[in-house]
Structure 1
């Protein structure tokens, strides 16, 4: 079992941080979770109201605690996920500190010094960067955006369709969130889905079973990243047939991505102009890791790592990165496997560092 007089700091108390804390306890580490928010539920309370998981409850739990409920094949709603994470955090015998934002991580001997916005400086044997990416939504740069007088927002800040009633709206993106939000808005607004390529649909159910059943029994959900990048080149949308039919019937229009904004609308790829009231970008997120800047381990904001283990700093690991080790790495159903992997590597490093410190202490001359 790994032992160290200093804790392992886990930055972020959402699903990744909680999975990391449980894995760290299991190998004898002393985890301390630092969460900037008021509770350890990650970004889930801030997602749009109608969001449901794309995987059934039976495949969506973190290690050690089932979702519960009478129907394991249901798709849990946003608020159910929030309640589940609260329950999960409460079951862990871990030092969890909320309202604490990590501002910087510095190297310190064989470990690290973690600085927070409360003025604390915490020595750490290792660091698990589990802060996710929701706090860093990506908005692509497009000509004329500063001149556009309408509303521009990322889907991270979209909540419900009613404020868009009667408006002309463009939703940008070809993934699950883009299609789900665009389809929801159709009942309230005139909506166009703007994408750079045709949408790829994946059937939600195959031979009467949810897709995640087949991913589980075949092991496809755990395929290595190297294999995934060859197989999955574009975003894919899980669909029972509703979304595909909405586009095929013209209920939900899809057009090739526009090329620029004007003061009151957009310029489409064919050169035509259209007045638009609002543009919602569902264009993904980027790792939220600015606090690692002092380590110089980020390359254009992206950490240098393999399978979640830093290639630049021993004792630094990551959780919740998209495609970190598998298709499900940044999901509830997959982060537990990744947590076990990176924590095992971290524990081995902490044990080695502890042995090295003990060896040096025993052999260095005592100054008098």
Structure 2
């Protein structure tokens, strides 16, 4: 794949920071409109998928939802779920499918406004740009609670982004903290490998994999859920910061039922609230967490039933879920006897400290409308629920990229910006 190098002091009409799916989708749309730009990627294309996902990782949405602009999935298994290495290959092939002006191995370290528009500092020099698109994603710094410091130094502690496989961990029981998508799937991975798992639950909801003859994702797509803009919801913040539903695409796709794991020997607990020496304490909310996850799952089925009835669709009937296990007594404490490792599946936090432009709210979240900030020529892409459910995913980022490319083109016309001649530009080399 042709590569680019950059020169210190170069000026670009548009700089895109981040070469993941959001940055590449933006580049494709800019290229389609004839807009000159450069894409800066700190590592390699697909590095987030390559370096922060475990060995058995796979998508939780069907392959047909991989719809990057100009490059929809066209493999032999549209209803399957690509595994980690296939996802990396999909992105690498996408980057090779068009003349992407990509510079790999260049990290942006600072962004501020200047007379030319924006100054982008990197570990390879300083660039300026008329407009900048930030495609750095939401999963930047692993979040581990400070209480982890209280655990004995003899325990192996990993964040979910560092977990690869059960053999990576020492023999003994494993404590997994968190039941979002990563925590639930890692707990299953360990459980299937025969490891004794202690799983600390949270408030994440779950969703069925299949219902009434189709993948639930296919039903929701047909119902228009994924095309619904965030502005159509009554409480934008509650939607934007919603925890993802847990489910898996492993082995062709199936539900993740924590209650079933419990019948097979996995130990479940409520929220972790304290660590004191060799003892962990939990909130008495395990039953509430399980009931909430099931209620959300069944509520989604209710909406599918209503859709089927409204349109008179012929679909097979399916019995509803019945809980296979109930916690008789909620354990509120646990000693570390037998536990040798901890996997913290506690999410990520943003790190925008390098962005020295006033576009953040009191929580440090970028303020924007569909990725367009209040600072002229500065944009975000790839944020969860930036506009729709699919904004941060393979399924919806194309629409966001097209919208931003239109905004970028319109601003160029409004401001009368022309390519600046005589300034050093990127030059092509062969990787």
TM-score bracket relative to the smaller structure = 0.7 to 0.9
Instruction: Trace 1:21-100 onto structure 2 (pairs within 5 A).
Output: 21-37=27-43, 39-46=44-51, 47-100=53-106
Alignment check: 8 A CA contact 1:44 1:81 kept = yes
Question: Is the 1:145–1:262 Cα contact (8 Å) retained in structure 2?
Answer: no
Which residue in 2 is equivalent to 1:340? Answer: 402
Aligned to 2:247: 238
> Deviation at 1:251?
3.3
Q: 1:148 aligned to 2:152?
A: yes
Residue 202 of structure 1 corresponds to 207
Query: In structure 2, do the counterparts of structure 1 residues 107 and 230 end up closer, same or farther at CA, with 3 Å as the change threshold?
Result: closer
Aligned match for 1:320, one of 375, 382, 396:
382
| Alignment: residue pair count | 348
Partner secondary structure for residue 259 of structure 1: strand
Counterpart CA distance in 2 for 1:211 and 1:68 is: 21
**What CA distance in whole angstroms lies between the structure 1 residues aligned with 2:186 and 2:279?**
20
* Aligned pair partner of 1:172 in 173, 177, 198: 177
What's the CA shift string for 1:228-256, capped at 9, x where partnerless?
Answer: 75679554212623534533525333210
- TM superposition shift of 1:110: 5.7
**2:263 aligns with one of 234, 240, 249:** 249
1:158 corresponds in structure 2 to 163
Q: Deviations over 1:87-119 (max 9, x none)?
A: 10011212111110111112123621111111x
TM-score by length of 2: 0.74
Alpha-carbon deviation of 1:41? Answer: 1.5
Query: 1:128 maps to which residue?
Result: 133
Cα offset, 1:279, TM superposition: 2.0
Residues 77 and 251 (structure 1), Cα distance of their counterparts in 2 relative to 1, 3 Å cut: same
**After TM superposition, where is structure 1 displaced by more than 6 Å over at least 4 residues in a row?**
none
* 1:244–1:196 CA distance, 2 compared to 1 (3 A): closer
- The alignment's C-alpha RMSD in Å is 2.5
Partner of 2:288: none
- Structure 2, unmatched stretches of 5+, are 1-10, 249-253, 285-331, 421-431
Q: Shift in Å at residue 219 of structure 1?
A: 1.4
1:207-228 deviations in Å (ceiling 9; x for gaps) = 2211221222221012222427
Q: Are the equivalent residues in 2 in contact too, given 1:267–1:274 (CA < 8 A)?
A: no
| 2:333 counterpart (266, 272, 279) | 272
Q: What is the CA distance between 1:48 and its match in structure 2?
A: 0.7
Larger RCO (CA within 8 A; separation ≥ 6): 2
